[in-house]
């Protein structure tokens, strides 16, 4: 493997990792405040891409409008899912909410099949993204540089919201202690909705960029990336936003590098993540950056 190839692979890994990281943030934020694995998050990712397709092909919107619109609508759907399927189960045993999430996930997936058909659809790719750039010996698609850059900006925006605004403070309070947050007058339901909205918006952005990178849309496209992003969130420390970012990027890089160095293992590409999940849960379930949660006897 030449140095140039290595850099190329590394950049690809960074791109893939950024996409995972954006999805992982949504999982980790929801788990942090509700202790719920939002199974339906992978479908939110998928819907972001589909709404852009819909906007462009059915409504003839300019691509920029379609993208912004898609992100907003997807965020709204994320909030709606919480209101309808999760909020009524706040006081129920945790597994009930998880089963509800599984139901929503299948519902959204199959609703998309009904609406758009199960056959993969091609997505419009603007020409300027197609032409590879040459940097020394390294050939990269502009997209490979664009994705990490944009993801970085989005994550900066998120960090600003979580650490510099009042709702962000509320989010951090709720993830520490939801009961006390209620008592202290934090508008818990509204902040939870905001969390779902932000997480869904980031996942939608990831879905749109994913569709530009791998331009085939199908209703099941969210399942595997979504699961892998969840694993990345656990790896980095579920409940920790920096953990989700680190986990996502590392997972993307490992995935690309492992197949680059050991091409024979390409068939097992998906299994890496699942094995990583099991290993993490057994060795250090709190992940790289997570904190311990004690059980009272």
Contact with another protein (CB under 8 A) among 42, 100, 181, 206: 100
Based on C-alpha coordinates, what's the Rg of the chain? Answer: 19
Residue linked to tokens 């990712």: 45
Residue linked to tokens 């300027």: 128
Contact status: 106 vs another protein (CB under 8 A)? yes
Pick 134 or 295: Cβ nearer another protein: 295
Residues 29-48 that bind another protein (CB under 8 A): 35-37
Q: Which helix (H) or strand (E) holds 78?
A: helix 63-81
Pick 68 or 92: Cβ nearer another protein: 92
Measuring CA to CA, how many Å separate 219 from each of 42, 111, 115, 144, 279?
Answer: 10, 9, 10, 24, 30
List the one residue out of 139, 199, 121 whose CA is nearest residue 12. Answer: 139
Pick 122 or 270: Cβ nearer another protein: 270
Contact with another protein (CB under 8 A) among 65, 111, 135, 149: 111
What is the C-alpha to C-alpha distance for residues 236 and 244, in angstroms, rounded to an integer?
5
Residues 174-193 that bind another protein (CB under 8 A): none
Determine the Cα angle at 264 with ends 262 and 267, to 5°.
110
Pick 59 or 278: Cβ nearer another protein: 278
Stretch that binds another protein, among 4-12, 55-63, 201-209, 230-238 (CB under 8 A): 230-238
Q: Is 237 helix (H, G, I), strand (E, B) or coil?
A: coil
Contact status: 268 vs another protein (CB under 8 A)? yes
What is the C-alpha to C-alpha distance for residues 122 and 181, in angstroms, rounded to an integer?
46
Stretch that binds another protein, among 138-146, 194-202, 254-262, 268-276 (CB under 8 A): 268-276
Pick 31 or 51: Cβ nearer another protein: 31
Q: Up-side HSE of residue 18: CA atoms within 13 Å toward CB?
A: 25
Contact with another protein (CB under 8 A) among 15, 109, 144, 206: 109
Contact status: 96 vs another protein (CB under 8 A)? yes
Contact status: 120 vs another protein (CB under 8 A)? no
Contact status: 291 vs another protein (CB under 8 A)? no
Contact status: 294 vs another protein (CB under 8 A)? yes
Give burial (CB, 10 Å; 0-12/13-18/19+) of 134.
exposed
User: How is residue 17 annotated by DSSP?
Assistant: H
Pick 131 or 294: Cβ nearer another protein: 294
User: And the tokens for 243?
Assistant: 């953990």
Contact with another protein (CB under 8 A) among 95, 127, 134, 183: 95
**x/- string (CB under 8 A) for another protein, residues 187-226?**
--------------------------------x---x---
What is the C-alpha to C-alpha distance for residues 49 and 294, in angstroms, rounded to an integer?
40
Residues 6 or more apart from 247 whose CB is under 8 A from it? 20, 21, 24, 231, 232, 233, 234, 235, 236, 237, 287, 288
- Contact residues toward another protein (CB under 8 A) are 35-37, 85, 88-89, 92, 94-96, 98-100, 102-107, 109-114, 117-118, 219, 223, 227, 230-231, 234, 267-268, 270-271, 274-275, 277-278, 281-282, 285, 294, 297
């Amino acid at each position: 493997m030449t140095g140039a190839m290595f850099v190329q692979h590394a950049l690809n890994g960074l791109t893939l990792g950024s996409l995972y990281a954006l999805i992982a943030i949504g999982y980790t934020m929801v788990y942090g405040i509700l202790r719920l694995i939002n199974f339906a998050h992978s479908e939110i990712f998928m819907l972001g891409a589909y709404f852009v397709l819909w906007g462009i092909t059915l409504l003839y919107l300019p691509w920029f409008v379609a993208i912004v619109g898609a992100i907003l609508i997807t965020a709204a759907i994320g909030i709606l899912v919480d209101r309808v399927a999760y909020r009524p189960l706040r006081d129920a045993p945790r597994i009930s909410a998880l089963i509800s999430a599984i139901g929503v996930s299948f519902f959204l997936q199959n609703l998309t099949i009904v609406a758009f058909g199960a056959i993969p659809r091609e997505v419009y790719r603007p020409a300027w993204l197609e032409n590879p750039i040459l940097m020394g010996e390294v050939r990269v698609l502009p997209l490979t540089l664009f994705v990490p850059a944009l993801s970085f900006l989005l994550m900066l925006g998120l960090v600003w919201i979580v650490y510099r605004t009042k709702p962000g403070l509320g989010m951090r309070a709720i993830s520490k202690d939801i009961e006390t947050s209620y008592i202290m007058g934090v508008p818990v339901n509204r902040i939870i909705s905001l969390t779902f909205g932000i997480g869904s918006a980031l996942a939608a952005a990831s879905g749109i960029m994913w569709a530009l990178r791998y331009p085939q849309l199908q209703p099941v496209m969210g399942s595997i990336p979504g699961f892998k992003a969840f694993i990345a969130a656990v790896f980095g420390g579920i409940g920790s936003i920096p953990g989700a970012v680190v986990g996502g990027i590392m997972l993307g890089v490992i995935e690309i590098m492992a197949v680059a160095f050991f091409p024979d293992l390409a068939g097992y590409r998906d299994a890496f993540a699942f094995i990583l999940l099991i290993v993490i849960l057994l060795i250090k379930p709190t992940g790289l950056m997570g904190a311990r949660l004690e059980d009272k006897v």
